Amino acid sequence: MLILGIESSCDDTSIALIDASARGFKILAEKTASQIEVHKKYGGVVPEIAGRCHAEQILPLIEKVMKPFDSAQGKPDIIAVTSGPGLITGLMVGVEAAKTLSYLWNIPVVAVNHIDGHIHSVEIQNSKKQKTNNIKYPCLAGRQAISNIQYPALALIASGGHTELIYIKKENHYKKIGTTLDDAAGECFDKVAKLLGFDYPGGPKISKFAETGNPQAIKFPRPMLDKNNFDFSFAGLKTSALYWLSDNSPKTYHLKPKTLTDFCASFEQAIIDVLVGKTLKAAGKYQPKTIIMGGGVAANKKLRETLKEQTNTLIPNSLFLIPQFAYAMDNAAMIAVAGYYHAIKKDFTPWQKLKADPEWEITR
């Protein structure tokens, strides 16, 4: 089954073509246009500008991804498009493109929840280029992906827009058991990075400086960690970082190199302790066979190592799955993979009814 994935919920326009079957997935082609350079000067994503950039990028990217198919007069079997949650300005562009192509090619559409995509990003594991055995398009090489989530599963999705714990009893049955009450983990990284004068998105820069710092140097709070639920809150941590900077480097927030690395390491450690602590607490209650971590913050090296180590120690029989670095960030391949599981159940949305839903909750 050839699936064209479309993702435009935030600041990446991404298109991917995958070949999906019960044996696994092959990414045949993928193109992503990042808007980071455009939003950098505003210190965050500006929705109106994001919408315009998606509108400019989406058709050229689809054309590039589909190019090798022109001669074969080919078309995908299915379109999988992120329909929510996310920025309405971006979602609408992807959804309108999906509707148009569905009408034009007369093929069905799967509306994919963005969080569903991040969950399935962990199934794109082996990035080695492999020869395809696609009968229709034998010329194409693909990247192999394997399906290996065992249910029940527990997923921590942490990104710039989301921090959620999701219990997945079986495929496509999601229950949100925890969420952030204010800022998302990536948003907290980005806002504190902005105070330090780093460009958007600042999460990767903080984690780079953190590598050589002392994570015990500054005692930042671990919000909600001792609460008897699976919710998060990062606004207080952001405020304590601000107060610490105001006390220690008034006006400029300019830190000496050693203090900067210690600040970054201590701040990063506070976020990691909360994310890992809450995930393990949820795992204790729900006893999942697989623990999944996805979303942009899942690209954080120390977070990956810590959660892996602690899962292996405390819940040794469970499978721990994280995406490859490239697939932790928003991408269309994960949307196509998530779309596959709906397509095999014929869970399609007629193009006339397809709508962007910025508040779409994954729980059903």
Least distance between ligand KG4 and beta carbon 186 (Å): 3
Query: Angle at the Cα of 324 (from 11 to 336), degrees rounded to 5?
Result: 60
Which partner, Zn ion, ligand KG4, none, binds residue 190 by CB below 5 to 8 Å per kind? Answer: ligand KG4
Distance CA 19, CA 306 (A): 34
Least distance between Zn ion and beta carbon 244 (Å): 29
Among 117, 288, 295, 339, binds ligand KG4 (CB under 6 A): 295
Distance CA 82, CA 29 (A): 18
Which partner, ligand KG4, Zn ion, none, binds residue 160 by CB below 5 to 8 Å per kind? Answer: ligand KG4
Under 8 Å between Cβ of 204 and 47 = no
Q: Is 65 exposed, middle or buried (0-12, 13-18, 19+ CB in 10 A)?
A: buried
Asked whether position 12 contacts Zn ion by CB under 5 A, the answer is: no
Which partner, Zn ion, ligand KG4, none, binds residue 186 by CB below 5 to 8 Å per kind? Answer: ligand KG4
Among 159, 163, 261, 311, binds Zn ion (CB under 5 A): 159
Q: Which value, to the nearest 10 degrees, does the dihedral of the CA atoms of residues 275, 280, 283, 285 take?
A: -110
CA 102 to chain centre: 25
Which partner, ligand KG4, Zn ion, none, binds residue 183 by CB below 5 to 8 Å per kind? Answer: none
Among 120, 330, 340, 360, binds Zn ion (CB under 5 A): 330
Between strands 24-34 and 12-21, the pairing is antiparallel
Under 8 Å between Cβ of 118 and 294 = yes
Rounded to a whole number, what is the largest CA-CA distance in the chain?
Answer: 66
Least distance between Zn ion and beta carbon 114 (Å): 6
Segment near Zn ion (CB under 5 A); pick from 126-134, 209-217, 277-285, 329-337: 329-337
| 207 membership: H or E segment, kind and range | helix 203-210
Site for ligand KG4 in 150-209 (CB under 6 A): 159-161, 186, 189-190, 201-204, 207
* Closest chain position to ligand KG4 (CB): 296
Among 117, 330, 332, 334, binds ligand KG4 (CB under 6 A): 330
Residue 205, token pair as written in the block = 């820069």
Among 81, 156, 276, 329, binds ligand KG4 (CB under 6 A): 329
Asked whether position 85 contacts ligand KG4 by CB under 6 A, the answer is: no
Nearest CB to ligand KG4, comparing residues 10 and 280? 10
Q: In sequence order, what DSSP letters do the residues of 15-77 get, joined into one string? A: EEEEEEETTEEEEEEEEEEE-HHHHHTTTS--HHHHHHHHHHHHHHHHHHHHGGGTTTT---S
Least distance between Zn ion and beta carbon 151 (Å): 22
Residue numbers at the binding site for Zn ion (CB under 5 A): 159, 330
Residue numbers at the binding site for ligand KG4 (CB under 6 A): 10, 159-161, 186, 189-190, 201-204, 207, 295-297, 299-300, 329-330
